[in-house]
Amino acid sequence: MTILHIINKSPFEKNSLDTCLRLAKRGSAILLIEDGIYAAQKNTAVGNKLAAAAATHSLYALAPDLDARGIGKDKIIDGISLVDYDGFVQLTTETSGVQSWL
């Protein structure tokens, strides 16, 4: 069974994403919400690291949070699936547990 890891802090201010990527087991799902969605942007060191993680993890970003921060879908790295609030809830029910990284 997989775990859903939720990142809500900017990777440019906190190391939550780095810690998550280091400890999350292969096949885990990672959902970026709130300021965590800044990690999904193309052409950044963080984005490149996250793009590499797409080979071993399922990656998601909360679309309303991208919209709220003015980040267009064309600015998001390949391999990230966008979800709405219903999709967020569905991810929590499809995984065996949830880990929020602060």
**Cα R_g (the chain), whole angstroms:** 12
One-letter amino acid at 41 equals Q
**Cβ–Cβ < 8 Å for 5, 29:** yes
The enclosing domain of 92 has a CATH number of 3.40.1260.10
- What does pLDDT average to over the chain? 95
The domain in which residue 17 lies consists of 3-101
Eight-class DSSP state of 71: -
**What are the pLDDT digits (tens) for 19-33?**
999 999 999 999 999
- pLDDT above 70 covers what percent of the chain? 99
**Residue-wise pLDDT tens digits, 40-51:** 999 998 988 999
Q: Helix, strand or coil for residue 76? A: strand
**Quick one: pLDDT band at residue 1, thresholds 50, 70, 90?**
low
Its pTM stands at 0.95
Q: List strand residue ranges (DSSP E) for the chain, in order.
A: 3-7, 29-32, 58-62, 80-83, 97-101
| Domain count across the chain | 1
